[in-house]
Amino acid sequence: MMKTLITTCLALAAVACSQKPNEYKGELLWLQYTQPKNKVCVVVQDTIPTLQIARNELFANFSKADTVRLQIVADAALPNDGFRIAVGGKTIDIEAQSTVGLLYGAYHLIRCEAAGAQVRPTTEVPSYALRILNHWDNIDGTIERGYAGKSLWQWDELPAVVSPRYAEYARANASIGINATVLNNVNASPQILSDEYIRKTAALADVFRPYGIRVYLSVNFSSPMALDSLPTADPLDKAVRQWWKDKADEIYKAIPDFGGFLVKANSEGLPGPLDFGRSHADGANMLAEALAPHGGIVMWRAFVYSPSDADRAKQAYLEFEPLDGQFADNVIIQTKNGPIDFQPREPFSPLFGHLAKTRQMAELQITQEYTGHSNHLCFLPSMWLEVLNTDTYEHGEGSLIRDKIEAIAGVSNVGDSANWCAHPFAQANWYAFGRIAWNNRLTTDSLATEWIRQTLGKLPNDVERKIADMMDTSHETVVDYMMPLGLHHIFAWGHHYGPEPWCAIPGARPDWMPSYYHCADSLGLGFDRSYSGSRACEQYNAPLDSLYGNIQTCPDKYLLWFHHVPWNYTMHSGRTMWDELCLSYGRGLAAAEQYVQTWNECRPYVDPLLWNSVARRLDIQAHDARWWHDACLLYFQQFSKMPIQQKTLLNLDDMMKFHLRISNYECPADGGMRAEN
Ligand code: GCU
């Protein structure tokens, strides 16, 4: 045995010596190109900035042809900055209707080379015309739910000082097809619309423009009152309407290609039209009217809920469904993927199966608010694709969410940390978001592989496979140890990092307390949204309403989302619900521990600094998975009174050490975190 071990170690050491890992520079993200040996001749028709960027990128980073020709063509088959690649001998032609389309074509070629793929003739047209990041950055430099430092935007220096990182940010986005960005938090300060901030915003827009990125702003609905002391923000008030028109004129004078507004209204204490007895449609349409002459749009969020008798999961549908058809043409309703709030897994928001006469877009969360911040490896495309590929049965079978929506927004995980996202693997989520918004047919595994190749370089096949497997399974692993069987929102109050199913703050809003969601009692666990409960299942089209509403047909992954399930209920597996719960926590924990092991095996092949940074975080993740496992099972066992299966619990000593470490854990730069859920 010992002999085999030594031989294996020697063999590994030999491999390690013969293959020096690629150097990894975190700040370069997936753009770690090594200078190609052959320089390509790039033929462009013009010298405008976007084409200069395309030319320079190809010249520096592409070598698979002698000549690349970039040509603008009038071709209706290439809408929305789509492009066509033709390959003829050693010459490659990129054609597009716009300069940005040509830039995307250039990045396509470079990606092929960096990811070791052959350049083939192809036509690419994006799945969505609008592919937008939502930054939850506050103007004081903090980021709400941000885990990678402070805001990139140096508001106090702008517009005089323009950081070089703005162009790097724009380049990274353009390389994956992102074409828009909302600069500030949905919990918006009215200040963002002051003259001063419009000038600052214009400076950023100038940097982003050549990369095809348009700027948008989140606005506070009571801005006219806060900025100019109007007595009301009533959307039907003439003076208020005029104020917004004037504001739009002012913005477009400074930023002619300004994209529009993102609005969170009447949600979590923010002002909105309902404060004046008006509807969401009244509010959105007023802003739409101000933006329409300039071609701008309003992204009006459906993330609304208030402490009411209605199940929180039902509220968005109840408020928006009656308004279907009442929104102006340039309003898009921005709906979170699930009906509650970016939990590691939610059934889809029922609004995606309705609102036939209203434009809709999906809001996904790239920043890992509920998936381990920038400490846990959680590769999110599997979750996003699960949602996008869901059938809502709105128009019978085959009504997929991906076809229903017109755009995708992703809440950004970017901060001013040296590598942008803190966890090196969190960069992969930014990457994957852009790629999916461009092409919603991509798969989790292909995204993992292309990211690995560009970021970590060419690895031996088995090593690449191990890392891709880790990424591919990581979301399910997080679900296993954070929300088994659909058990949701048992996160610690405020920061949403660890478990806190026991949290009960006297006087706090019930819908911000975990017991509202888990409903643990001597009978069972889970929120009853079936026909005998809140009837939230009814908001889904047939056959999903009865599929979810019936405990016997409800998929295991949503069981405790839709049902209050007896502890000893027999699951599809034949196990009791309690044992299945234990199994899930145990499986999540085992997988997180396995990732530490797998990453150790990859060590010889990966840049040491990168390896360390990931290894430290995987250790934290394994510890945290243990924490979720022990804390939740011990808590729920008080109700189930059944023995804990699978994994042994930590002894007291280890537990103490662990909690000491966790309490010393600095919650990274979540300065904007509010004192509420
Ligand atoms: C969650 C999140 C908040 C955020 C809100 C939103 O509730 O915890 O920080 O403001 O979503 O999306 O508006």
Q: How far is the CA of 136 from the centre of ligand 1 (A)?
A: 9
- Ligand 1 center from residue 537 Cα (angstroms): 24
CATH 3.50.50.60 fits 2-124, yes or no: no
Q: Which residue has the higher pLDDT, 345 or 512?
A: 345
Residue 275 has pLDDT above 90, yes or no: yes
**pLDDT tens digit string along 643-666?**
997 555 545 455 445 444 444 433
Give the least confident one: 176-180, 435-439, 551-555, 572-576. Answer: 572-576
Dump pLDDT digits (tens) for 111-131: 999 999 999 999 999 999 999
Q: Could you tell me which CATH number the domain at 130-455 has? A: 3.20.20.80
Percentage of the chain surpassing pLDDT 70? 92
CA of 183 to the centre of ligand 1 (A): 16
Q: What are phi and psi of 455, to 5 degrees?
A: -95, -45
Residue 4: pLDDT band with limits 50, 70, 90: very low
Query: DSSP labels for 99-111?
Result: HHHHHHHHHHHHH
Active site residue 369: yes
User: Is the CB of 186 inside a 6 Å radius of any atom of ligand 1?
Assistant: yes
- Chain-centroid distance of CA 551 in Å reads 31
Q: What is the mean pLDDT of the chain?
A: 92
Among 143, 262, 303, the mutation site with the greatest number of ligand 1 atoms within 8 A of its Cβ is 303
Q: Is the pLDDT of residue 413 over 60?
A: yes
Q: Structural domain boundaries of the chain?
A: 2-124, 130-455, 480-525+565-675, 528-563
Bigger pLDDT: 670 or 79?
79
Query: Quick check: CB of 144 below 6 Å from ligand 1?
Result: yes
Same fold, 2-124 and 480-525+565-675: no
Ligand 1 and 81: CB distance under 6 A: no
Instruction: Report the separation in Å between the CA atom of 267 and the middle of ligand 1, taken as the mean of its atom positions.
Output: 9
pLDDT the model gives residue 654:
55
For ligand 1, say whether the CB of 489 is within 6 Å of any of its atoms. no
Q: Which CATH number fits domain 480-525+565-675: 2.60.40.1730, 3.40.1710.10, 3.90.1330.10, 3.30.43.10?
A: 3.90.1330.10
Active site residue 472: no
511 near 307, Cβ under 8 Å? yes
Mutate to test the pocket of ligand 1, among 145, 147, 517 (most ligand atoms within 8 A of CB): 145
**What is the model's pLDDT at position 45?**
83
Residue where the block lists tokens 């405790």: 560
To the query of whether residue 140 is one of the catalytic residues in this protein, the response is no
Bridge partners of 70? 94
Give me ligand 1 centre to Cα 536, in Å: 22
Atom of ligand 1 nearest to the CA of 267: 13
pLDDT in tens, 445-486: 999 999 999 999 999 999 999 999 999 999 999 999 999 999
**Which of 379-383, 392-396, 447-451, 491-495 comes out lowest in average pLDDT?**
491-495
Q: Which runs of consecutive H residues, i.e. helices, occur in 262-380?
A: 280-291, 312-320
Residue 10 buriedness (CB in 10 A; 0-12 / 13-18 / 19+): exposed
Testing ligand 1's pocket by substitution, the residue of 367, 369, 411, 488 carrying the most ligand atoms inside 8 A of its CB is 369
Radius of gyration of the chain (CA): 26
Q: Is the CB of 312 under 6 A from ligand 1?
A: no
